[in-house]
């Protein structure tokens, strides 16, 4: 929701229908009307949006531990945002996915660990990638 304050339009997807309903209610309660919500698996929704010609300046992803599906990454590369923010709870799948984005023309500018779960072994990492001019 906070991204909607700075963006012309936000596209948001979530596989859990109840989570989307709650997000829609939250947006309405806060008079936010520049978000398109869609229920579905990211690897299905993102290719659909790419085929519809959706473009984005910034893409924010927070995948499950298994990382991003190849279909999602391919569609993200087609949408070609200037920047990608990748939030991950699994360094191995994050490294794999960042390599695929690198092969698709993105470079990692920074990676920051974030300790959201103090006193545990779990740490989130946030990477900022930028599209490299070819």
Which residues have a catalytic role annotated?
Answer: 89
- Angstrom CA distances, 105 to 33, 69, 134, stand at 33, 18, 8
Would you state the structure tokens that stand for residue 73, as one six-digit string? 């990454």
Q: Rounded to 5 degrees, what angle do the CA atoms 51, 56, 59 make?
A: 105
Strands 83-88 and 124-131: antiparallel
């Amino acid at each position: 929701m906070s991204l909607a304050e700075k963006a012309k339009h936000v596209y948001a997807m979530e596989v859990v229908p109840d989570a989307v309903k709650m997000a829609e209610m939250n947006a309405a309660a806060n008079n936010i009307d520049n978000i398109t919500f869609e229920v579905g698996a990211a690897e299905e929704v993102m290719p659909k949006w790419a085929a519809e010609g959706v473009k984005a300046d910034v893409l924010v992803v927070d995948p499950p531990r298994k990382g991003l599906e190849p279909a999602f990454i391919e569609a993200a590369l087609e949408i070609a945002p200037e920047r990608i923010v990748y939030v991950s709870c699994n360094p191995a799948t994050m490294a794999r996915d960042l390599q695929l984005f690198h092969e698709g023309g993105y470079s990692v500018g920074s990676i920051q660990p974030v300790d959201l779960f103090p006193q545990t072994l779990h740490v989130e990492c946030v990477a900022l990638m930028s599209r490299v001019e070819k």
